[in-house]
Amino acid sequence: MRQTHHIIFAEYEGPEALSPNDRQLLMEARQALGKAHAPYSGFRVGAAALLSNGAIVSGANFENAAYPMCLCAERSTLAAAVSQYPEARVTTLAVTAATERMAVNSPAMPCGACRQVLFEFEQKYGHSIRLVLQGQSGPVWVFERASDLLPFAFGPETLQRI
């Protein structure tokens, strides 16, 4: 039997159309582009996490001359947030990207590894992590659950079933 899987997300024309909280978080992510260490790719990614205690933690990608060591903005920000506030949970993560080579005018989507790590924390929290994604310009995409970007995921529950 054929089955289908749908992903629902919201598209906004720009940050002006967002709620004040989401707009602020995206602005923090944009400011975090300045923290990027991206001398190898020249592709800067900034992220900002809003926590359940109201704190905002921002971070950026973190490259290394040994290329496989490069760490994405989403994961460095999530690790910073979880380390600084182990009692709170991340409720929303805003992400943006910029490079001098071109205009990034479509949303900065988390890579597969980051989706897996976000999924892990949704499972740990028993709560969704919202994603607010934009390039330097162009539409903003909002996903209510990071796990919507990783359907049929492998996670902690899978291990428990084994």
Q: Which residues are catalytically annotated?
A: 74
Which two three-digit tokens encode residue 12?
Answer: 């906004």
Cβ neighbours of 78 (radius 10 Å): 24
Alpha carbons 9 and 141: distance in angstroms, whole number: 7
Please identify which residue in 74, 129, 134, 143 interacts with ligand THU, judged by CB under 6 A.
Answer: 74
Lay out the site mask for ligand THU across 46-65 (x = CB under 6 A, - = otherwise).
Answer: ---------------x-x--
Q: Which residues pair with 159 in a beta bridge?
A: none
State yes or no: residue 141 binds ligand THU (CB under 6 A): no
State yes or no: residue 91 binds ligand THU (CB under 6 A): no
State yes or no: residue 72 binds ligand THU (CB under 6 A): yes
Unique residue bearing structure tokens 């997300």: 9
Q: Helices then strands (H, E): number in the chain? A: 4, 6
Residues that bind ligand THU (CB under 6 A): 38, 41, 43, 45, 61, 63, 70, 72-74, 110-111, 114
